[in-house]
Amino acid sequence: MILLFSRLHAAVGRDVAAATANALALQSIERALHLDIALRANQWLTEHPALIQPAVYYYRLYYLAIIGVLVWVFVRHADVYIKVRRTLVAMAVLVLPVYWALPMSPPRFALPGVVDIIAEHDILGGHASREIQNGQNLSAMPSMHVGWSLWCAYAVWYALRASHPRLALLSWIFPLGMAAVVLITGNHYVLDIAGSAVLLVFSIAVVSAWGHLAERRPARD
């Protein structure tokens, strides 16, 4: 599913002019709300070079967390596996039309002064530079790095909330860390992160509604 999403993701949001215009509009909104911290956050990271490589690893290796959480839930908490897997699928399906309708250039391309940390210190070689060619650089809203991280936290919390409620709460540290990383590396705006939270909540609601409909169908037969 991850590979399929990546291919579809690369195929949407290729309008550079629209992506730049949308990014400028978003920046205006953030200034009005006093949320325009992307540049200052990025400058803070450049002033602390020892943190750059850990931030790059955190940003790039999040797919391992997705796969690890999915396998862990399937093996250890099969009773909730279907719901959390459906939520993951719902997020992927729901976000693609947003990327198509609202292409958005990230701060590293649209905000003067932001240093492209990932491109300069990428652990995957030329991958970051190729993003500008396949369109992935034009899908900042919402941030799926934060979105998938939120899903990981939700899946762990949902699996452990009854048996280990305090431990379950610790899972939310992961997306908080990712939110900080995408800001300081110049990849997303504050409102992109907020959009990721909205996406997760909406996906959970869709899956819940889907489950209620599935439960009602046998009762009608």
Radius of gyration of the chain (CA): 18
Structure tokens at 47: 């002033």
Number of domains, the chain: 1
Name which of 125, 103, 121 is nearest 184 in CA terms: 121
Asked whether the bond before 142 is cis by omega within 30 degrees of 0, the reply is yes
pLDDT tens digits along 59-99: 988 889 999 999 999 999 999 999 999 999 999 999 999 99
- Looking at the chain, the whole-number percentage of residues with pLDDT higher than 70 is 85
Inter-residue contact 30 to 114 (CB < 8 Å): no
Closest CA to 41 of 205, 147, 188, 173: 188
Query: Residue 94 sits in which domain range?
Result: 2-220
- pLDDT, tens only, 19-64: 999 999 999 999 999 999 999 999 999 999 999 999 999 998 888 9
Examine the pLDDT at 134 and tell me if it is beyond 50.
no
